[in-house]
Structure 1
Amino acid sequence: MTQSVVVQVGQCGNQVGCRFWDLALREHAHVNKRGLYDEALSSFFRNVDSRNNDGVCGVGGRIQHLKARAVLVDMEEGVVSQILQGPLREVFDSTQLLTDVSGSGNNWAVGHMTYGSAYGELIMDKLRKAAEHCDCLQCFFLIHSMGGGTGSGLGTRVLRLLEEEFPDVCRIVTSMYPSAEDDVITSPYNSVLAMKELTEHADCVLPVENQSLVDIVNKISLLSHGAKPGLTIKRDSTVISGQGGLCGAEKPFDAMNNIVANLLLNITSSARFEGSLNMDLNEIAMNLVPFPRLHYLVPSLTPLYTLADVSVPSRRLDQMFSDAFSKDHQLIRADPKNCLYLACALMLRGNVHVSDLRRNIERLRPSLPFVSWNQEGWKTGLCSVPPVGHSHSLLALANNTCVKPTFVELRERFTRLYRKKAHLHHYLHVEGMEESVFSEAMSSLSSLIEEYHHLDATKARLIPDAPRLHIAR
């Protein structure tokens, strides 16, 4: 059995990561009724009780002898302190935590350069220690935000450290993108500076937009108050399931973090449980990324809630596949059907047959435009264990040119600030930071946008018989 390590950086990264660990424990406790340490648990947890394997996972996700394969980093201590006071405090090894008190001041340069230099070797030691506890290390999952200073700056510095120290281990990054109305005025700077690092050092990036999460949570809230019979959302649904490992009153963004945690649960399900078509985590990058820089995968998750009428006729199963390709279920605002697919993965959980999978691919195929040289660009996985409270679920990961408008909008917001040199002095006062770093980041983003534009042009037949993108050697 292979193992993976989760690296949580910054406030957002630790809040989302905490939800992942809580829900993962609930899933394992639901399946592992006797609470024995087994291969499924070993994929993301290690047993620190050398005496025996009994009683490591109790009912409801309460644990006694399990430690998460995780490294928690934040330059403010608030969220990590909350975690250590909450119900998951025993899950995290204290030697795998690193905090400071002053924060990064919403400044990428402070996180990347100041804290990256000060704590780089210490973080590397913690990553090595986490790796040493693995028999067969398969993947690093990095969770961070793009808008703040620690998540964007130190998060991408950690990503670079991972590539240097573990070049052959897959790096999958979940990046939280700020909305246009973000209250951090410097978030366009931080996001574009982080984008260059993600493009150069990640194997796969799962972009998640805050605004999409807000829209989904609002939609579910409306449904939960609907008067239609049978449309009551169950209390153990994906979104309405408590805040897990954090203490204190539930906050509005807990439901948003819950959705992202479920994205991580689904993508790791084949690594944690058995299935008839298990998808190796390395296969995601291998099958979905034809060009190294174009590794931004649009995630779409369904169902996002559990209705009271839980019967699962074939019609509802087909609807789940259709929903996975609708804008309402995507974690990024985009329209993939009007853009070009380079490849697509379908990761199913629950009692779903291969015949259902093939039938729905054939049904949807005519409406999904794929590049001419990868018409069969589907990767599929079937895990027999569904999420708790669901009979089945589906995660779609689309490598699609529809991410381009998001990047174009980000570049425009960056340009509006940079043209006036607004707030630039906060960055240039940081040791090691030069204005050329901004221009290089802008150039990298523009080049990425142009590569997607080139592919879109082949769909529109603006370039007849267009060759594949040139890959620099």
Structure 2
Amino acid sequence: MTQSVVVQVGQCGNQVGCRFWDLALREHASVNKKGIYDDALSSFFRNVDTRAVGHKVYGSTYREEIVENLRKAAEHCDCLQCFFVIHSMGGGTGSGLGTFVLNVLEDEFPEVCRIVTSVYPSAEDDVITSPYNSVLAMRELTEHAHCVLPIENQSLVDIINKIKHMSHSGKLGAEIKQSSTIISGQGGVKGQEKPFDAMNNIVANMLLNLTSSARFEGSLNMDLNEITMNLVPFPKLHYLVSSLTPLYTLADVNVPTRRLDQMFSDAFSKDHQLIHADPKHNLYLACALIVRGDVQVSDLRRNIERLKPSLPFVSWNQEGWKTGLCSVPPVGHSHSLLALANNTCVKPTFIELKDRFMKLYKKKAHLHHYLHVDGMEQSCFTEAVSSLSSLIEEYNQVDATKGLLMTDAQRLSIAV
């Protein structure tokens, strides 16, 4: 049995991790009626309590303790497949210690895949130094992660507001249930509602779909390390756009089950993305579809062929699709779909982040808070923004091939 370790760092990472744990328990309880802690459940969840903040100071101070906790968690795995790191980019603990743990994982377990879920701050973030934290963290993610799933706070807010609006307008057929995990923490095993639970539930549901093949059987199971193998053709271009459908389940809202083909169309709609981006007007390097429930391989193939003409892929990877089928659907639903797209549309997010960074850095605003820390020098900031600029330029180079792709299409039409 393949297994993975979830590493939660910082307030955001721990809150998302707790929601992931709660909803996973609900999911496994719906399948395992005997309530036994079975193999499917034990493939995850050994929480690492780092009890530290910051990359330079506390990371170094508690390195041995962090390594020991990670090794203990890894020793409980029969076949360690990957590490999940869940953290935020804007805060000090998530960005600093989170990326420090990522470096430790590379040093101690170099052969094990490192998948990171990173929550990016909105432009109205209440942490004034979040552009510094985020750009410093971006360098570490680019250099040391195998795969990053960027999540934008504002996208989560928009999704929640949209669901509430649809509910109040009657478009969902009924009001959202009081026990819904989509709007409160009451849908989990226990505990009172906490701030951001509604947003964290969206991320947790994405992770449930992502890990479904590792927890349940299926006719076409996808190993987690296959995501990196199939979706990352260039090492640094490993930032994937995630979209989820449905965004809620029948356990949360009383709605008719949507048609299967509509589910595939929704997965490529901007309304279902966990990051503000426009994939259809940019280039796909590769795409993965992770499907759960009563879905056949023929359904997958039919919908891929139906959608392909509208999705601009790079010319050298027109067949860059990876698919997975898990037989167990989400609680209260017949099927679900998580789409992961390696697409150049993430570039505007990075450009905006760089612009916000430069507005502060040009004035050297708040820089003294960092420079008084041992090991933090101004070169750390220049190197970090240089790394981000290089990443943006790599995406520019891929985007530049879009014209070549159009020329090939025009040549084909002339030949025909």
Scaled by the length of structure 1, the TM-score of the pair is 0.82
State the AA in 1 paired with 2:321: W
Instruction: State the one-letter code of the partner of 2:265.
Output: S
User: How far has the Cα of 1:352 moved from its partner?
Assistant: 1.1
| Matching residue's letter, 2:49 | L
| Matched residue, 1:468 | none
Q: 2:93 aligns with which of 150, 154, 159?
A: 150
One-letter amino acid of the structure 2 residue matched with residue 398 of structure 1: A
1:43 CA drift (Å): 1.1
Taking a change above 3 Å as real, the CA distance of residues 318 and 242 of structure 1, as seen in their structure-2 partners, is same
Match of 2:411 in 1: none
Kindly provide the CA deviation profile for residues 374-431 of structure 1, in whole angstroms up to 9, marking residues without a partner as x: 0000000010111112221110000000000000000000000000000001100001
Per-residue CA deviation, residues 28-50 of structure 1 (Å, 9 max, x unaligned), is 11101122343312311xxxxxx
1:42 matched residue in structure 2: 42
Q: Does 1:211 align with 2:188?
A: no
Tell me how far 1:232 sits from its aligned partner. 4.1
Instruction: Check the 8 A contact 1:4/1:69 in 2, yes or no.
Output: no
Question: What residue number does 1:222 align with?
Answer: 165
Q: Which of 385, 388, 391 is the aligned partner of 1:448?
A: 391
Question: Separation in 1 of the partners of 2:283 and 2:126?
Answer: 33
User: What residue is the counterpart of 1:333 in the other structure?
Assistant: 276
Letter of the aligned partner of 1:198 in structure 2?
L
**CA separation of 1:401 and 1:229: change in aligned 2, threshold 3 A:** closer
Question: Runs of 5+ in structure 1 lacking a partner?
Answer: 45-67, 74-98, 105-110, 466-473
AA aligned opposite 2:304: I
Identity among equivalent pairs (%)? 79
1:230 deviates by 2.5
Contact 1:294 1:448 (8 Å CA) reproduced: yes
Query: Which residue number corresponds to residue 85 of structure 1?
Result: none
Indicate which of 128, 141, 149 corresponds to 1:185.
128
Change beyond 3 A, Cα 1:272–1:373:
same
Name the residue aligned to 1:362: 305
Match of residue 419 from structure 1: 362
- CA-based RMSD: 1.8
Amino acid at match of 1:172: I
Counterpart for residue 49 of structure 2: 72
Whether the aligned pair in 2 keeps the contact of 1:69 and 1:130 (CA below 8 Å) is yes
Corresponding residue of 1:3: 3
Number of residues paired by the alignment?
404
Distance 1:245 1:170 in 2: 30
Q: Deviation at 1:10?
A: 0.3
Q: List per-residue Cα deviations over 1:300-355 (Å, max 9, x = no partner).
A: 0111124524345xxx2111111111111100000000000000000001111111
What's the secondary structure of 2:48's corresponding residue?
strand
**1:250-399 to 2 correspondences below 5 Å:** 250-305=193-248, 306=250, 307-312=253-258, 316-399=259-342
Give, as a single letter, the amino acid of the residue that structure 1 aligns with 2:48: V
Go from structure 1 to structure 2 and tell me whether the alpha carbon gap of 1:302 and 1:116 turns closer, same or farther (over 3 Å shift): same
Equivalent residues in 2 for 1:454-465, closer than 5 Å: 454-461=397-404
1:432 aligns with 2:375: yes
Read off the aligned partner of 1:214 and give its amino acid letter.
V
More displaced 10-residue stretch of structure 1: 424-433 or 226-235: 226-235
Name the CA shift for 1:165/1:17 in 2 (closer, same or farther; >3 Å): same
Q: Structure 2 regions of 5+ residues with no counterpart? A: 409-416
Give me the whole-angstrom Cα distance separating, in 2, the residues matched to 1:245 and 1:121.
34
Question: Which amino acid letter does the alignment assign opposite residue 34 of structure 2?
Answer: R
Equivalent residue, structure 1, for 2:17: 17
Judge conservation of contact 2:257–2:333 (CA < 8 Å) in 1: no
Q: Distance in 2 between matches of 1:348 and 1:132?
A: 30
The answer to whether the 8 Å contact 1:223/1:231 transfers is no
Does residue 400 in structure 1 map to residue 343 in structure 2? yes
* C-alpha distance in structure 2 between counterparts of 1:229 and 1:334, whole Å: 26
Query: Which amino acid counterpart does residue 385 of structure 1 have in structure 2?
Result: V
Once residues 70 and 175 of structure 1 are traced to their aligned partners in structure 2, the CA distance between those partners, rounded to angstroms, is 17
Determine if contact 2:293/2:329 at 8 Å carries over to the other structure: yes
Letter in 1 for 2:205: N
Distance 1:399 1:311, change over 3 A: closer
Q: Deviations over 1:257-277 (max 9, x none)?
A: 000011110100000000011
Letter in 2 for 1:6: V
- Alpha-carbon distance in 2 for matches of 1:311, 1:112: 46
Q: What is the CA deviation profile of residues 128-157 of structure 1, one whole-angstrom value per residue up to 9, with x for unaligned ones?
A: 111111111111000000000000000000
Q: Does 1:141 align with 2:84?
A: yes
Change (3 A) 1:412 1:287: same
Amino acid at match of 2:324: G
User: d(CA) in 1 for partners of 2:290 and 2:22?
Assistant: 21
- The letter for the 2-side match of 1:26 is R
Question: Larger deviation: 30-39 or 393-402?
Answer: 30-39
> CA contact under 8 A between 1:18 and 1:245: conserved in structure 2?
no
* Aligned AA (1:19): R
**1:48-67 matched pairs, under 5 angstroms:** none
Please name the residue that 1:33 is paired with: 33
Match of 2:143 in 1: 200
TM-aligned CA distance change 1:462 to 1:428, over 3 Å: farther
Per-residue displacement from partner, 1:183-204 (whole Å, max 9, x unpaired)?
1000000000000000000000
Letter in 2 for 1:317: L
In 1: Cα distance, 2:298 partner to 2:106 partner: 39
**CA displacement at 1:117 relative to structure 2:** 1.0
SS of residue matched to 1:163: helix
**Cα gap change, 1:427/1:341 in structure 2, threshold over 3 Å: closer, same or farther?**
same
| SS of the residue 2:118 aligns to | strand
Aligned to 1:115: 58
Give the distance between the partners of 2:170 and 2:161, measured in 1 at CA.
16
CA distance in 1, matches of 2:3, 2:136: 31
Distance 1:383 1:461, change over 3 A: same
Q: Specify whether residues 442 and 4 from structure 1 end up closer, same or farther in structure 2 by C-alpha distance, changes over 3 A only.
A: same
Q: Match of 1:386, as an amino acid?
A: P
